[in-house]
Amino acid sequence: MTFQEQIQQGIPSLLPKPKKHELEINHAPKRKEILSDEEKKLALRNALRYFEPRHHPELIKEFAEELNTYGRIYMYRFRPDYKMYARPISEYPGKCEQAKAIMLMIQNNLDYAVAQHPHELITYGGNGAVFQNWAQYLLTMQYLSEMTEEQTLTIYSGHPMGLFPSHKEAPRVVVTNGMVIPNYSKPDDWERFNALGVSQYGQMTAGSYMYIGPQGIVHGTTITVLNGFRKIKTNPKGRLFITSGLGGMSGAQPKAGKIAGCITVCAEVNPKITHIRHSQGWIDEVIHDIDELIKRVALAKANNEIVSIGYLGNVVDVWEKFHEENIYIDLGSDQTSLHNPWAGGYYPVGISFEKANEMMSNNPVLFKEKVQETLRRHAKAINKHTENGTYFFDYGNAFLLEASRAGADVMAENQVDFRYPSYVQDIMGPMCFDYGFGPFRWVCTSGNPVDLQKTDTIACEVLEEMAKTAPSEIQQQMKDNIQWIKGAQENKLVVGSQARILYADAEGRMKIAEAFNQAIAKAEIGIVVLGRDHHDVSGTDSPYRETSNIYDGSRFTADMAIQNVIGDSFRGATWVSIHNGGGVGWGEVINGGFGMVLDGTKEASKRIESMLFWDVNNGISRRSWARNEGAIFAIKRAMETQPLLKVTIPNIVDEQLF
């Protein structure tokens, strides 16, 4: 069968042969045993409902074995034989270009070069899933190949519920992930619901088909590191940044450090992902021995080098050894998947990667004890460095949250706040999000690198023109982004689809998008998909990350994220998504995203103007109401440019009155 025919058949009526478990692939760790015997029967019933009853006698044994061996039913047998990657949009079958674009984005999320655990349909973060199983993938792709512009596909935590009649201006796909009742939103609830096959953790851009590989976070991390050095009034060259994690999102850190111009040491315990990042050019060197690392860093400091080093080992050893050897660390952070601490997101020190994985599934109680013990050591070592002047920030991965739950010394004197700020709280929030700058991104669906180069040029020209008249408050943001886009090709950021990310405000996003649409109309470039990271101005309510610089008491509310996805859906998004969890953990955040297909039409221009304006200014208005100075400036400026916008501005209370 051709690729197109395989897509169109959906779940095959004849069972494919069982697939061999490929050991060279980076697989998800075994999930812990959590279901009772009766719940296991329910999980099997849930899995078998995708298949004709005549296949049940054969599949029930296989699925039971998967459940017992891996803790989940992935339906490996139904993994497609074709190569998984983002093909040019013309190669997808279908009746609707928007649907074809979504198929392209789904396959990009599962590309072996992009996905963390591709056979388990997990894109990044240890549990950030596109689908729960391969039947859901096959059925979704079939529905998209049949979809017309008068239908909308609804996705319930990876399950394609079906195509429903709608209209041309409605979203083609609406995605929800993990939207459970709040009282059933603890980590073990996720384990149970996911094992039953009824809910999933979509992370942020994994379950919304908008992940573009580590590039998606490289830019944000570059800005964070640059502004971190600005905050401590230090030139990055020859200065040291220590962090950990080389997985899907965290793998961006050494590349960002290189672009920012410092020495980066990024520790990772997983040999496979370490060597993948090295082969992709995201780290310059890999070092296995801690003493060798000491010597290499000392040399790099002496020579004022700009270099990225991957240390294959536990970061706690690095923090402790560097203190022992009196090696000064300028900036420090951590980006392990601590939103998922008990299932492979963070590994205990002093135990091999293989033995830790065994302990995780066979003795989860002891594994949790070892992880919490490591967190206490981790925090203690960091505290020693910060006493000597190191600037440490939480990278929004729930490090401080889980460290505090483990009893680590990370609380401020008031025992309410953390000792260290979140990077959003201290850097990205006041410097970027409050002014409306966030991770706007696009994908060239032609798959042609020339199209990406053309879009880079278009975006740069738009930004340079805007910078001529931009107010002083946002000149630094404009300069950083112009510098970024000019170096984008040189830095070889593409992994998977021909995609780019660029921090821009509402005006910048709208002008860049319209310039793309005009270029498409003139046949200068092919169809473009617009999107953004959920980690943005408006899309996410996360009290320890995206909304950590909200101080009016509302940072634990999620009205903004819900309003955002509702507003995007009727203002022109091609698809929308809303998730529980992502970044900092299940039950800790609500986040939403979108995708928009630009096809060169006048209708696309209307959607750009309507949706992109709302998508950013919804968040600015909330940040303004929280009395954030930059956001008050930004929303007043937005009202000057759009007479139909009228937002309530807060009145500031004289503190002496208290």
| Tens of pLDDT, residues 226-255 | 989 998 999 999 999 999 999 766 778 998
CA distance 614 to 538: 9
Nearest residue to 307 via CA among 378, 258, 235: 258
Q: Is the pLDDT of residue 216 over 80?
A: no
**pLDDT, mean over the chain:** 94
Q: Is 376 left (phi over 0), alpha (psi -120 to 50) or beta?
A: alpha
Q: What is the pLDDT, as a whole number, of residue 523?
A: 97
Classify residue 384 by burial, with Cβ atoms within 10 Å: 0-12, 13-18, 19+: middle
Q: What are phi and psi of 643, to 5 degrees?
A: -65, -20
> Residues annotated as binding site for NAD(+)?
125-126, 203, 268, 395, 583
**Domains annotated on the chain, with CATH:** 3-138 (no CATH), 214-423 (3.40.50.10730), 429-642 (3.40.1770.10)
Confidence of residue 130 (pLDDT cuts 50, 70, 90): very high
CA distance 192 to 320: 37
Q: Where are the strands (E) in 76-219, listed by range?
A: 122-124, 128-129, 151-156, 159-165, 173-177
> Residues annotated as binding site?
125-126, 203, 268, 395, 583
Q: Where are the strands (E) in 464-601, listed by range?
A: 499-504, 528-532, 540-541, 575-580, 590-598
Confidence of residue 422 (pLDDT cuts 50, 70, 90): confident
The per-residue pLDDT for range 561-585, each reduced to its tens digit, is 999 999 999 999 999 999 999 878 8
Give the rounded percent of residues in the chain with a pLDDT score beyond 70: 100
Please give the model's pTM, rounded to 2 decimal places.
Answer: 0.88
Confidence of residue 491 (pLDDT cuts 50, 70, 90): confident
Long-range contacts of 154-160 (CB under 8 A, 24+ apart): 157/132, 157/198, 157/199, 157/200, 157/202, 157/207, 158/121, 158/129, 158/130, 158/131, 158/132, 158/133, 158/200, 158/202, 158/207, 159/132, 160/136
Asked if residue 285 lies in contact with residue 248, where contact means CB atoms within 8 angstroms, the answer is: no
Query: Among 289-298, 416-425, 600-609, whose mean pLDDT is lowest?
Result: 416-425
